[in-house]
Amino acid sequence: MIDDRNAVVLRPIGFIRSPFSDPAGMPIQPLGARGVRGAVEVLPEFFNGLADLEGFSRVILIYHFDRSEGFALRVVPFLDNCERGVFATRAPRRPNPIGLSVVRLLGVDGCRLSIEDVDILDGTPVLDIKPYVPSFDAYPDERNGWFGSRSTDAGTARADDRFSRATDRTEG
Amino acid sequence: MIDDRNAVVLRPIGFIRSPFSDPAGMPIQPLGARGVRGAVEVLPEFFNGLADLEGFSRVILIYHFDRSEGFALRVVPFLDNCERGVFATRAPRRPNPIGLSVVRLLGVDGCRLSIEDVDILDGTPVLDIKPYVPSFDAYPDERNGWFGSRSTDAGTARADDRFSRATDRTEG
């Protein structure tokens, strides 16, 4: 039971299907999941909201990191070996455990979206789907802070279990 | 009071400060808000999570469309004059009213992020801040569906009150 006037209460609109059932060993960004296929199974009640989506070659998925427990304000990201502020990382153990991935949309069949470049755990609850619109979303020349040249290492780096454990480094 | 095992319960980590107090007349994307300055006032308890953020020239803000009521599965977007599936649009009246904007980060002073290209209402609750990383997030050449050449019209188009009314076109 929740009694909190500031709370924002969301409900899944669907669920991810992917080959990844264990956080350890999975790709850490769509960049590292090139060619990995999966799906979004949207709940039937939202079918009418999927019209016109097929014209987009990428979609933004917003989802709940449901297997992440607690959060830390400082984390050691997969691509680094020192602590960073969590809001300067894409780590899952965030104050609000919301994930964002820009995945390739292969097709829409009824309530099933076939997707590629999937870096998301099987069974993950999806909260929103938005069309990826380059003139809104693509800024290829921005400065990427501590990632520097490491961001392209996401193509080969793999996750370990650091963000599924709730015991270490939790603060705040 | 909420009793729902599927619910995802989030709480604001901060609030938007912007010149826009009324949805009508505001820009509909950061593209149309070039040069508009604002801020994210992050709650003090999350201060430690902001470390290292200043190295990024853009951030992804995920926020709650708190003045949007109800939702529709088919909407007439600001850039079009016929109905589209809501998941193929960026309209606010979504099943989960989550907004996403890629804004310019000008600087970080304590818990205050100075930002530019702000297309967000003053007082909007912020749920998450993520660094914008071009190799994860920038796909300049994707196919953008019904937007077509209209996506660049977002540079001049302005919102009206269609998505703050709960009475029209609601379905599902």
Domain residue limits, chain B: 14-133+144-155
Residue B21: DSSP 8-state: -
Provide Rg for chain A, Cα atoms: 16
Neighbours of A171 (CB within 10 A): 12
Q: Choose between B167 and A156: higher pLDDT.
A: A156
Mutation choice for B interface testing from A52, A61, A75, A105 by most B CBs within 10 A: A52
The tokens 């609109």 sit on which residue?
A: A13
What is the pTM assigned to this prediction? 0.90
Tell me what pLDDT residue A32 has: 80
CATH of A14-134, one of 4.10.320.10, 2.60.120.200, 2.40.30.70, 3.40.50.180: 2.40.30.70
Task: Give buried/exposed letters for A120-138 (b at 16+ CB in 10 A, else e).
Answer: bbbebbbbbbbbbbbbbbb
Chain A residue with the nearest C-alpha to that of B132: A144
Tell me what pLDDT residue B170 has: 34
What are the E-state strand segments in chain B? Answer: 8-10, 14-17, 37-42, 58-64, 74-75, 84-85, 98-109, 112-116, 125-131
The tokens 């427990």 sit on which residue?
A: A69
Residue percentage of chain B with pLDDT more than 90 = 67
CB pairs under 8 A between A and B: 275
| Residues B56-80, mean pLDDT to the nearest whole number | 93
Q: Is a pLDDT exceeding 50 seen at residue A67?
A: yes
Tens digits of per-residue pLDDT, B133-142?
999 999 999 9
- State ipTM: 0.90
A82 at interface of B, judged by CB pairs closer than 8 A = no
A21 at interface of B, judged by CB pairs closer than 8 A = no
Q: Burial of B11 by CB count in 10 Å (0-12 exposed, 13-18 middle, 19+ buried)?
A: middle
Chain A residue with the nearest C-alpha to that of B104: A142
**Range from A85-89, B57-61, B140-144 carrying the lowest mean pLDDT:** B140-144
Tell me what pLDDT residue A171 has: 32
Tell me what pLDDT residue A64 has: 97
B21 at interface of A, judged by CB pairs closer than 8 A = no
CATH superfamily membership of B14-133+144-155: YaeB-like (2.40.30.70)
CB contact under 8 A, A146 and B11: no
For A121, the 3-state DSSP assignment is coil
Q: A166: which 2 tokens?
A: 């709730």
Confidence of residue B3 (pLDDT cuts 50, 70, 90): low
The three-point CA angle A132-A63-A46 to 5° equals: 75
- Contact B124/B63 with Cβ under 8 angstroms? yes
Closest CA to A110 of A43, A158, A169: A43
CA–CA distance, A136 with B11 (Å, rounded to integer): 26
Mean pLDDT of chain B: 89
| Residues B8-14, mean pLDDT to the nearest whole number | 96
